[in-house]
Amino acid sequence: MQKTNEFLLNFFSEKKKNFLRGFFAFFSFFLVILLIQSFFNKDDSYIAKLSIENIIHTDNDLSNLLDNLNEDKNLKAVLIDVNSPGGTIVGSQTIYNKLKRLGENVPIAVSMKEVAASGGYLVSLAADRIFCYKGTVTGSIGVILQTMNFNTFLEKIGLEPLVVKSGNMKSVPNPLERLNEEKKEKIAGLVDNMAKQFLDLVVENRNLNDKEIDLVSDGSVFTGVQAVKVNLVDEIGDEEDAISWLKKKANLDDKIEVLDIKKPSGLLNDFNLNDAHILKKLSGFLAIWLI
């Protein structure tokens, strides 16, 4: 009888052990499956945050970065921090065009900082919504050409510049020759045409009425409060307000990650020498077109 009891105890003990082993094996397998599924179903969605600062010019690194973002399926929205007084026309138009293409796939919001004027405002026009601080300086819609004339100075020191060129309008404006009315009119025509390109973008993107166009088309600058009143900016708000709007616009989870996207680092970028390089180009004796 005792042997029978021992046999039964051992039998059920082994049964219990086998059951526990099977249970833990199944549990471990189930856990591994969940982990694998979690890994492959991981949500890599994010909001990209980029900064456009200082003088705007043709920037291949930024252009390539925007192209790469446009191909990223995990990108759900874009926040652009703008803090720029302006720059070259082509540089500003290039960024605007890149952002417009990006905006065909994801919503874009701009958060203006201290200044987003002239070219800094032009690139902001690509956004679906523009936020700024009350004290932000923006506007300055127009184009400026700056040059010098050294003739009077050269005459005083007894020098006469000699300019030989193939056509009357070649290399105009030139600091070594005076401008007659014909040359001034042609230069003014170029400035007016470029200014019209800028203003057309403003009217197209901001849907301005005639009164608002008159208020902003003379190159005036505005505070953030004034800019909202003349419809250059959508609302007063900070970066967090812009992010909240993007989440709502794209129906995103409140916990979605906001990634600070930066251009490739290099020696020139680290010491801000790229801006110094472009400034050197812009400050030559031959005038450059700035907005």
Cα 209–Cα 210–Cα 216 angle in degrees, nearest 5: 90
Chain-wide mean pLDDT for the chain?
Answer: 82
pLDDT of residue 148: 80
- The domains of the chain are located at 46-143+210-290
- Cis-peptide, bond into residue 173, ω within 30° of zero: yes
Of the given ranges (35-49, 64-78, 129-143), which has the lowest mean pLDDT? 35-49
pTM: 0.77
Whether residue 35 has pLDDT greater than 60: no
Burial of 50 (0-12, 13-18, 19+ CB in 10 A): buried
More confident position, 256 or 158: 256
Whether residue 57 has pLDDT greater than 60: yes
More confident position, 93 or 161: 93
Average pLDDT over residues 137-165: 82
Residue pair 174/163 in contact (Cβ under 8 Å)? The answer is yes
Average pLDDT over residues 133-137: 98
Query: 179: pLDDT confidence band, cut at 50, 70 and 90?
Result: confident
pLDDT digits (tens, 9 = 90+) for 194-253: 899 999 999 999 999 999 999 999 999 999 999 999 999 999 999 999 999 999 999 999
pLDDT of residue 271: 47
pLDDT of residue 113: 98
CATH architecture, domain 46-143+210-290: Alpha-Beta Complex (3.90)
Average pLDDT over residues 119-137: 98
Look at residue 246 and give its three-state secondary structure. Answer: helix
Distance of alpha carbon 96 from alpha carbon 99, whole angstroms: 5
pLDDT of residue 161: 76
CA distances from 36 to 26, 31, 259 (A): 15, 9, 25
Task: Just list the catalytic residues.
Answer: 118, 170
Whether residue 39 has pLDDT greater than 60: no
Look at residue 234 and give its three-state secondary structure. Answer: coil
Residue pair 80/50 in contact (Cβ under 8 Å)? The answer is yes
